[in-house]
Structure formats: structure tokens, C-alpha cells
Amino acid sequence: MSDAVTKLRAEVTERVLSGAGTASPDRRRAAFDNKNVEEPARALVDKVARTAWKVTDEDVAAAKAAGLSEDEIFELTVAAAIGQSTRQLIRALTAVEQAFAESTS
């Protein structure tokens, strides 16, 4: 991955986690990591991280009914999605590096 792409990815992640927002940076970090997410966000964040294609309007409505604002739902969803995609990217790059190392040894 190019240095420019790596830098841009880091900048986006930093802005999502630490930039201005309704959800606290700690809550956004928890969503990004999908660890120690407090209710009422836990179910939605976990679903976004594990099975994003199954998230429904009802999931969002349940989070809203449980007390999350639309801004919090958006911010935590974005943090969870970027966190999961980051973990998948790291695993993929590691697999490619290992395969390359094995093929050249």
C-alpha cells in the first residue's frame, strides 16, 4: 500500500475517533475496536462489525428508542465500520505478506 494511502487512512481514522462529534472519543474508540461498547449501542455496533449487511431500519430504530441520538448512531456506526474494515485490511495484508515470504523462500 502506498505511503499516501496509508497516511490518508490514518488521517480518516484519527478524525473519526478524535474529531468533533456527539459521541465521546471513548465511545467512538470502543465502537472502532468493537470492545467494551456500552448499551444501548452494543447490539448495533456488534451487528455493524460482524454482519453489516444485516443491519435494518429496525436496528437503528431500536438504538434510537434506547436513547441514542441520530448523530450518535451515525458516529458509532461509522467508527464500527471503519474499525472492522481496518481489521480486515490488516489481516489481508498480513496474509499477502506471509504468502509472498513463503513463495520467495
pTM over 0.75: yes
pLDDT averaged over the chain? 95
SS (H, E, C) the chain: CCHHHHHHHHHHHHHHHHCCCCCCHHHHHHHHHCCCCCCCCHHHHHHHHHHHHHCCHHHHHHHHHCCCCHHHHHHHHHHHHHHHHHHHHHHHHHHHHHHHHHHHC
Rg of the chain taking only CA atoms, in angstroms:
16
Give residue-wise pLDDT tens across range 32-77. Answer: 999 999 999 999 999 999 999 999 999 999 999 999 999 999 999 9
Number of structural domains in the chain? 1
Provide the residue range defining the domain that includes 97: 3-104
